[in-house]
């Protein structure tokens, strides 16, 4: 019985160690953050360009180009504009979604 108990403990410890290694830690993390798009870095008060992340509460998208901050389900809020088809959506979007706005890349 003592051997079974030790074996269970050893298996649990090995499983825990494997999960810790697979998940990474909070400080060194295994996730890689993508570099921000250089065209999305704007100065204070400047409009946010098409398809750049935005804040719906403080919409600073380029209204001169009819852009608005739209909350995409998977990509989060991005500056986009209304569209009828893919021809209305320049790079980096190139497609119109079912909500009538250019898709986030």
Task: Report the first-to-last Cα separation within the chain, whole angstroms.
Answer: 58
Backbone torsions φ then ψ of 27, nearest 5 degrees: -80, -45
The answer as to whether 84 is a domain residue is yes
Q: What is the pLDDT of residue 81?
A: 97
* CA–CA dist 84, 95 (Å, integer): 10
- Per-residue pLDDT at 87 exceeds 50: yes
Q: Domains in the chain: how many in total? A: 1
d(CA 33, CA 53): 15
Phi first, then psi: what are they for 2, rounded to 5°?
-65, -35
More confident residue, 83 or 35: 83
Residue 16 included in any domain: no
| 22 is a domain residue | no
pLDDT, tens digit, 9 for 90 and up, residues 17-29: 444 444 444 444 4
- Asked, for residue 95, whether it belongs to a domain, the answer is no
pTM for the whole thing? 0.64
Name the nearest CA neighbour of 79 among 58, 104, 45, 46. 104
The answer to the question of residue 45 being in a domain is yes
Average pLDDT value over all residues in the chain: 78
Query: What range defines the domain where residue 42 resides?
Result: 38-88
Dump pLDDT digits (tens) for 48-59: 999 999 999 988
């Amino acid at each position: 019985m003592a051997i079974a108990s030790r074996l269970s403990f050893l298996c649990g410890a090995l499983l825990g160690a494997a999960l810790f290694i697979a998940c990474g830690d909070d400080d060194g993390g295994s996730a890689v953050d993508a570099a921000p798009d250089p065209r999305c870095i704007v100065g204070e008060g400047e409009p946010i360009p098409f398809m750049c992340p935005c804040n719906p509460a403080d919409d600073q998208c380029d209204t001169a180009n009819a852009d608005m901050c739209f909350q995409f389900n998977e990509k989060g809020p991005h500056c986009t504009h209304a569209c009828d088809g893919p021809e209305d959506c320049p790079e980096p979007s190139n497609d119109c979604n079912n909500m009538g706005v250019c898709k986030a890349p």
